[in-house]
C-alpha cells in the first residue's frame, strides 16, 4: 500500500507539470529587411527616373510649360498669323507631340511622326471662329513647320551637349535597373525559401520608401546648385525637368512607406494569430 501510494503521488506530480509551448519556426531577420529596403530604394529611383527624366513624353510635358516651349508655341502661332489665322490657337497641349519628337532625337531614341490631330482641330476651330477656311494644305504646312521648329529648338550646341550627358545617364540607369531586378528576383526566391517573404517585404517597403523620399527631397533641394549649363535658359529647363522627376520619386517613396506599414501590420496580426 505504501509503495502504491508513492507511485500515485509520483505520477500525480508528473501530470501536473506545465506543458512546454511548442517551438515556432518564425525567426526575425532584420538584415534581410534592410537588404530589401536597399533594393526598394534602387528600384524606386531607377524606375522613377526612367518614367520621368528619361521619358520624352513626360519631359515634353514639362518643356511645353517652360520658356523653350513657349518660344516654339509663339513661333508656330506667328506662322499661323501670317497665314491668316490669328488668336494664338496653339497651346502647350497642342505643341507637346512635336516637342516630344525633338526630345526623342536628343535622347537618341527612335522617332515617330507626331500626331497632328490636336493641331488640326485647334487650327480648324480657330479658323471657323474667325470666319475663314483652313484647308488641309494649310494645316499640313503648319504641322510641318511646327515639327521643324520643335526639332530645331533641341539642335543647339548647348542642347546637344546636355543630350549627350543625358544619354550616358540613361544607359547607367538602364543597367542599374537590370541589376536591381536580378537581385530582386534572387532575394525573392531566398525569402520564400526561408519562409520570410512578408516578414521582409513590410520592413523593405517601409524603410525603402523613407530612403527613396529622402533621396528625392535632397536631390530636389540641391538640383539648382548641381545643374550647370552655358545658358540660363537651359539651366532653368534642366532644373525643372529634374525636379519634376524627383517629385515623382518622392511621391512613390511616400506611397511605398504607407503600403509597407499596412504589410507590417497585417503580417504581425496574422503571425500572432
Higher pLDDT, 196 or 97: 97
Least confident of 14-18, 76-80, 218-222, 258-262: 14-18
Side-chain-facing half-sphere of 46: CA atoms under 13 Å: 17
pLDDT score recorded for residue 228: 78
Per-residue pLDDT, averaged over 93-104, amounts to 93
Whole-number pLDDT of residue 49: 95
Evaluate the CA torsion angle 174, 180, 181, 183 in order and state its sign: positive
Selected residue with higher pLDDT from 26 and 206: 206
C-alpha cell at 58: 513626360
The Cβ of residue 213 has, within 10 Å, a number of other Cβ atoms equal to 21
Q: How many other C-beta atoms can be found within 10 angstroms of the C-beta atom of residue 4?
A: 8
Identify which of 118, 101, 25, 24 has the alpha carbon closest to the alpha carbon of residue 56: 101
Each residue's pLDDT tens digit, 119-140: 999 999 999 988 888 888 999 9
How many whole angstroms separate alpha carbon 156 and alpha carbon 162? 10
Which pLDDT score, from 0 to 100, does residue 22 have? Answer: 47
C-alpha distances (whole Å) from 39 to each of 119, 210, 219 are 44, 13, 19
Confirm if 114 and 101 have CB atoms less than 8 A apart: yes
Model confidence pLDDT, tens digit, residues 196-219? 777 788 888 999 999 999 999 999
**Mean pLDDT, residues 165-174 taken together:** 94
Of the two residues 30 and 149, the one the predictor is more confident about is 149
Q: Assess whether pLDDT exceeds 70 at residue 8.
A: no
Give the per-residue pLDDT at 1: 47
pLDDT the model gives residue 154: 92
Q: Is the pLDDT of residue 78 over 90?
A: yes
Residue 156 DSSP symbol: S
Q: Mean pLDDT of all residues in the chain?
A: 86
Amino acid at each position: 500500500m505504501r509503495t502504491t501510494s508513492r507511485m500515485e503521488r509520483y505520477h500525480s506530480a508528473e501530470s501536473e507539470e506545465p506543458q512546454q509551448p511548442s517551438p515556432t519556426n518564425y525567426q526575425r531577420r532584420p538584415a534581410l529587411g534592410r537588404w530589401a529596403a536597399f533594393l526598394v530604394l534602387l528600384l524606386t529611383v531607377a524606375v522613377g527616373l526612367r518614367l520621368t527624366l528619361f521619358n520624352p513624353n513626360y519631359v515634353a510635358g514639362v518643356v511645353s510649360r517652360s520658356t523653350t516651349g513657349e518660344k516654339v508655341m509663339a513661333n508656330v502661332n506667328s506662322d499661323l498669323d501670317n497665314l491668316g489665322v490669328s488668336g494664338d490657337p496653339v497651346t502647350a497641349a497642342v505643341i507637346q507631340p512635336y516637342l516630344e519628337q525633338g526630345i526623342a532625337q536628343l535622347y537618341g531614341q527612335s522617332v515617330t511622326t507626331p500626331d497632328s490631330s490636336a493641331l488640326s482641330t485647334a487650327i480648324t476651330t480657330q479658323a471657323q471662329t474667325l470666319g475663314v477656311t483652313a484647308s488641309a494644305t494649310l494645316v499640313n504646312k503648319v504641322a510641318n513647320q511646327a515639327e521643324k521648329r520643335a526639332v530645331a529648338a533641341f539642335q543647339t550646341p548647348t542642347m546637344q551637349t546636355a543630350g549627350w550627358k543625358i544619354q550616358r545617364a540613361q544607359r547607367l540607369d538602364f543597367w542599374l535597373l537590370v541589376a536591381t531586378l536580378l537581385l530582386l528576383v534572387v532575394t525573392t526566391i531566398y525569402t520564400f525559401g526561408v519562409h520570410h517573404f512578408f516578414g521582409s517585404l513590410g520592413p523593405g517597403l517601409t524603410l525603402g520608401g523613407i530612403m527613396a523620399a529622402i533621396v528625392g527631397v535632397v536631390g530636389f533641394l540641391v538640383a539648382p546648385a548641381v545643374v550647370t549649363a552655358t545658358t540660363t535658359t537651359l539651366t532653368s529647363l534642366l532644373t525643372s525637368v529634374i525636379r519634376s522627376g524627383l517629385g515623382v520619386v518622392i511621391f512613390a517613396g511616400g506611397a511605398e512607406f504607407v503600403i509597407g506599414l499596412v504589410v507590417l501590420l497585417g503580417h504581425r496580426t496574422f503571425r500572432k494569430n
